[in-house]
Amino acid sequence: MAEYMILLFDDETAWASASPEEYDRMLKAHGRFQEQCVELGGKIINSNALQPTTTATSVRGDVVTDGPFAETKEVLGGYYLIDAADLDQALAIAKLVPVLKGGVEVRPIMVF
């Protein structure tokens, strides 16, 4: 098994304007995703959602600024760290991650 990070990129405004029913539907979809990951033979090691980009602080060298570094519609909103047999299995799992209007990125964890 190898570790893969699934990064969730989504539109913050879609989440901010989601109705309580849509928000609840997405939370349930993430619960179902976690079950599907196991069904596909993977394992979630850790996962978290991130606070909105309005809470971000960027550091570039000695310069510290409020907010995200780049203006973009889709922002990193959370992650799943998974164990998967290989990249193909990690991608099969990643295709099941629920997002409102964005997508995901899969990256293997570097082993030193």
Whole-number pLDDT of residue 101: 87
pLDDT 10s digits, 49-107: 999 888 888 888 888 887 665 666 788 899 999 999 999 999 999 999 999 888 999 99
Whole-number pLDDT of residue 91: 96
Can you give the pTM of this predicted structure? Answer: 0.88
Give the mean model confidence (pLDDT) for residues 6-34.
Answer: 93
Residue 109 has pLDDT above 80, yes or no: yes
The Cα–Cα gap between 51 and 27 comes to 16
pLDDT 10s digits, 10-20: 988 888 899 99
- Helix then strand count (H, E) for the chain reads 3, 6
Whole-number pLDDT of residue 43: 97
Any residues with CB less than 8 A from the CB of 39 and at least 6 apart, and which?
none
Whole-number pLDDT of residue 80: 96
Give the mean model confidence (pLDDT) for residues 3-31.
Answer: 93
